[in-house]
Amino acid sequence: MVSKTAVSKTVDQEVRETPKDEQAYLRLVERLSKASVEKHWEPYIDIEWDDPVMKIDLSDPRWEVPAIDSLGGHPWYKAQSQEVRSGIGLYRFANAAKVGVQFENLLNRGLYTYAFKLPNGSAEFRYAYHEAIEEGHHGMMFQELVNRTGFDIPGLPAILRLTAQFVPMLGRFFPELFFFFVLGGEDPIDYVQRRMLAEDENIHPLAERIMRIHVAEEARHLSFARSYLRRRLPQIGFIRKRILRVAIPMILGQMSRIMLAPSRAMVRHFNIPSEVMDEAYRHNPRARAEVKASLAKVRNLAVELGLVDGFTKQIWKAYRIWDEPAQAAA
């Protein structure tokens, strides 16, 4: 009999400390590895997919878009039938899961590429493998959810499915950029899932279980990526820093849009009028503020590490993801 790990009602937080030297950094990495052994979940052991309470049903209002989603307050959305409102909410949730499957696939390959060159005795090797195994489980968990919705969701746009294939190479040749890419994918989703768990009183139990497992394990991944970058950045050369200054806002601008905005496939599927999309998202200050807030932690890290200057701040502003650090507390 395989025992199940309980999923706590309190959500694990990221380790906030900044290791002051190499030894403190290594101790933190070892602590994260130990936590991965003590607290982890498996999708086909810890989620009761076939339990009737987990069943997905579009007459269930718990699948409507969450409060954080500005489409929910739009008159067009409110005028739709229960099935359409729940369908849109379910599609939104499952689309984020499908993008998560694809992102975590790239992330996993990058982690293995990164770990390939690490020396014997490396604490980072063990942690990278723990993280890759957890991301493998997340990919299975998200794909199983997508399969059970009945929607054939493509996830990333075709052009990005192709161009993103270079990302795993960064794990070997430019790990600092790779771990900013990791944060660009993980931070916005973590932000949204934490908000939903904290604020939505009426979450479907399947969505809740998936999100609780995910945020608990992501807390470790985010701690590792941030600690790794804090330790590595002072050691890299001028050219690499220059590339990071330009590449980071471009990556974050693209990734937050893909992770948080509704997909074109969904808009087509539900025939959502273009003006509704404009009013709910593109021209809606509240939706823009949520995107900026979801990037606050990674943006603050870029500032802390000297990766934003007068020129590259303009790139952040062009993507409409800039906020002054003092106002953007995580």
Residues within the interface to Fe ion (CB under 5 A): 138, 218, 221
Neighbours of 253 (CB within 10 A): 20
Kindly tell me which of 255 and 277 has the beta carbon lying closer to Fe ion.
255
Kindly tell me which of 189 and 305 has the beta carbon lying closer to Fe ion.
189
Instruction: Please report how close the Cβ of residue 81 comes to Fe ion at its closest, in angstroms.
Output: 34
Instruction: Please report how close the Cβ of residue 29 comes to Fe ion at its closest, in angstroms.
Output: 15
Kindly tell me which of 64 and 135 has the beta carbon lying closer to Fe ion.
135
| Beta strand segments in 140-275, E | none
Kindly tell me which of 77 and 93 has the beta carbon lying closer to Fe ion.
93
Instruction: Please report how close the Cβ of residue 221 comes to Fe ion at its closest, in angstroms.
Output: 3
Instruction: Please report how close the Cβ of residue 192 comes to Fe ion at its closest, in angstroms.
Output: 13
Instruction: Please report how close the Cβ of residue 80 comes to Fe ion at its closest, in angstroms.
Output: 31
For residue 18, CA distances in Å to 124, 230, 245 come to 17, 8, 22
Nearest-CB residue for Fe ion: 221
d(CA 209, CA 205): 6
- Token output for 182: 């990791």
* Long-range contact set of residues 114-119: C-beta below 8 Å, sequence gap at least 24: 114/171, 114/172, 114/175, 114/178, 116/172, 117/172
Of the chain, the end-to-end C-alpha distance in Å amounts to 42
Neighbours of 244 (CB within 10 A): 22
Kindly tell me which of 204 and 221 has the beta carbon lying closer to Fe ion.
221
Kindly tell me which of 74 and 138 has the beta carbon lying closer to Fe ion.
138
Instruction: Please report how close the Cβ of residue 223 comes to Fe ion at its closest, in angstroms.
Output: 11
d(CA 262, CA 155): 10
d(CA 300, CA 253): 15
Amino acid identity of residue 137, one-letter, is H
